[in-house]
Amino acid sequence: MIWGSLSEFLNMGGYGLYVWGSYGVVLVLMVAEPLLARHRFRKALSQAGQALEQESE
Amino acid sequence: MSRSFRLFMFAAPSRFYALSGFLLPWLWLLAIGFAVAGLYVGFFLAPTDATQGDSYRIIFVHVPAAWMSMILYLAMAGWAVFGWAANARLASMVARALAPTGAMFTFLALWTGALWGKPTWGAWWVWDARLTSELILLFLYLGYMALVESIDDVRRADHAGALLALIGAINVPIIYFSVKWWNTLHQGATISMTAAPKMAATMLQAMLLMTVAFWAYSFAVVFMRTRALILERERQTQWVMDLASRATEEKK
């Protein structure tokens, strides 16, 4: 095991800010992007349904 | 059934929609599985670097993000041009779906690079050939997205975007070879096809696992966006109407 404790792991040999600053932004964007894509997909599906209902009225 | 018919079978948006819908959960599983494995190897098995300390661990996201930024651009330009030349609607939609993901990976390559540059070079940013050409790549993605959104006629927008993407593609080999062509601060390639990798085995493994994860992620998120684009554009077709009416039935 490389890390003796959790605080040692978080400290990253003094580079914690740089390492976690990188991984944090990667995580946020790579979670946000699929959520935005899913939102767009669901919106497109419901709008297609709405257009259909308006036609049939 | 002719051969060309079969070749273009998945060029029909309805077929693509069904196939991508089937593949999506598997792609997400692949992306998450490889990311977990890559992070485990990268943070718990790979040793601390002798010269850079633990700051080098940024490489496990930096290099895969930079690779994806270039690969996705070439894919975007390729599909955009194909969609233009062959008048293939789906290809143009895929091109548009690729742009935001490519832009995101370009931003991540620059962001993680800045956070790696500060402790190793002493600067967040330098106007070095590799960094500058990667920044231009980000502007090309943003320019492509702005251009296709600004033209109302969808197919005209696709064609204009294809031209921009094609001209911008010249930047990709410039990024790739910049560290060879110019004497820059950015280091040369760690991995090459012709020589043994200049890094420890576990470090290399972590980087490659993360690369597979990023590939799977890219396929998944681009498929999701393409499916949304199909529904937006093909609303008048019978199969989308059937799909939408089934979806509204299920909601009730």
- The residue of chain B nearest to residue A4, with distances taken between CA atoms, is B44
Q: What percent of chain B has pLDDT over 90?
A: 77
pTM over 0.90: yes
pLDDT of residue B139: 98
As for the ipTM of the complex, it is 0.93
The domain spans of chain A are: 20-56
pLDDT of residue B6: 56
B203 touches chain A (CB under 8 A): no
Interchain proximity B57–A19, CB inside 8 Å: yes
What's the mean pLDDT in B17-34?
A: 97
| Option in A9, A18, A40 nearest B118 (CB) | A18
With a cut of 70, say whether residue B136 has pLDDT above it.
Answer: yes
Residue ranges in chain A whose pLDDT is less than 50:
none
List, for residues B44-75, the tens digit of each pLDDT value.
Answer: 999 998 888 999 999 999 999 999 999 999 99
CA distance B82 to A35: 29
Pick the closest to residue B46 from B162, B207, B156 (CA basis): B207
The C-alpha of B69 sits at a distance from chain A's nearest C-alpha, in angstroms, of: 14
Q: Which two tokens stand for residue B186?
A: 């950015």
| Option in B112, B221, B225 nearest A22 (CB) | B112
pLDDT of residue B1: 45
Dump the DSSP string for B41-83.
IIIIISPPBTTTBGGGGGHHHHHHHHHHHHHHHHHHHHHHHHH
A37 touches chain B (CB under 8 A): yes
